[in-house]
């Protein structure tokens, strides 16, 4: 395996070696994950609020 501290490959750029995960595809995955997590947290919070509302009606 090559030493990552030396820049001898033609695929290396001035900022470092290219990776398979870099670029706008990685950014799209991050934003998609953010939307999914945000929607999931809101759905879970809504479910908890529904449980409290239904529980308060049974007094």
Full-model pTM? 0.55
pLDDT of residue 31: 92
pLDDT of residue 33: 94
pLDDT of residue 46: 98
pLDDT of residue 50: 96
Which residues are CB-contacts of 33 (< 8 A; sequence separation ≥ 6)? none
Query: Which residues of the chain register pLDDT less than 70?
Result: 1-23, 59
- Report the C-alpha gap between 7 and 51 in whole angstroms: 59
What DSSP element (H or E) covers 28?
Answer: helix 24-56
pLDDT of residue 29: 87
Spacing of C-alpha 25 from chain mean position: 12
pLDDT of residue 7: 57
């Amino acid at each position: 395996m090559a030493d990552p501290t030396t820049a001898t490959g033609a695929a290396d750029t001035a900022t470092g070696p290219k990776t398979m995960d870099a670029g706008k595809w990685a950014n799209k995955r991050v934003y998609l994950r953010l939307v999914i997590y945000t929607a999931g947290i809101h759905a879970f919070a809504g479910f908890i609020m529904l449980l409290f509302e239904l529980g308060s009606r049974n007094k």
